[in-house]
Amino acid sequence: MSPFQILLMRHAEKGADLADPDLSEEGKARARQLVAYIPATFGQLDFLFATAQSNHSVRPIGTIKPLSETIGVPIDASYSDQDYGALAQELLSNAEYIGKKILVCWHHGNIPSFAQALRGTPGSYPDPWDPSVFNEILQFVYGPGDVPTVRQVLEPF
């Protein structure tokens, strides 16, 4: 058995200064809009994951922190950006996640590989991820069998 749904998304917008690990003002605004949009579009979430904080970025955590605070679900940020395979394995094999709704916020460079690790069919998700895209969510819906249905959802803001 698998989770019911995994949402895989990129962090919100970053600023022009690539050395700045935080979200831009535009990114912070997107994070605030996700608070209402995510539950209204995908339902109540059971688990939230984000890439672990690094010296280069806290953007995945910052993107879903307002959502976490509003819905009362803590963020697990214990997996580093390169550990997407380990997180995918955990989500697909641990009984704790069976039938649950999960959101994962990651860095765009590893989203295609993460999607593959979640058993997404090649061609059902962007590969490579366009570095200018911050408003796309990949929705993996698991049913009988190992292969999820993947839907690309564009945030309307």
CATH number of the CATH domain containing 73: 3.40.50.1240
| pLDDT at residue 2, as a whole number | 87
17 pLDDT above the threshold of 80: yes
| pLDDT at residue 144, as a whole number | 82
18 pLDDT above the threshold of 90: no
- What is the separation of C-alpha 70 from the centre of its chain, rounded to a whole number of angstroms? 17
H-helix or E-strand containing 151?
strand 149-154
| pLDDT at residue 39, as a whole number | 98
Q: How many structural domains comprise the chain?
A: 1
Strand partners, 7: 103, 139
Q: Can you say whether residue 43 is alpha, beta or left, with left for phi > 0 and alpha for psi between -120 and 50 degrees?
A: left
Domain that holds residue 85: 5-154
pTM over 0.95: yes
- Using one digit for the tens of pLDDT, what is the confidence trace for 70-109? 999 999 999 999 999 999 999 999 999 999 999 999 999 9
| pLDDT at residue 146, as a whole number | 75
- Using one digit for the tens of pLDDT, what is the confidence trace for 106-154? 999 999 999 999 999 999 999 999 999 999 999 999 998 778 999 999 9
E strands present in 74-133: 75-79, 101-106
Give CA–CA dist 150/51, Å, rounded. 21
At 18, list the tokens: 């690539």
Closest CA to 60 of 101, 21, 6, 95: 21
| pLDDT at residue 1, as a whole number | 74
Backbone angles phi, psi at 25, to 5 degrees: -60, -40
| pLDDT at residue 145, as a whole number | 78
Say which residue, 153 or 19, is predicted with more confidence.
153
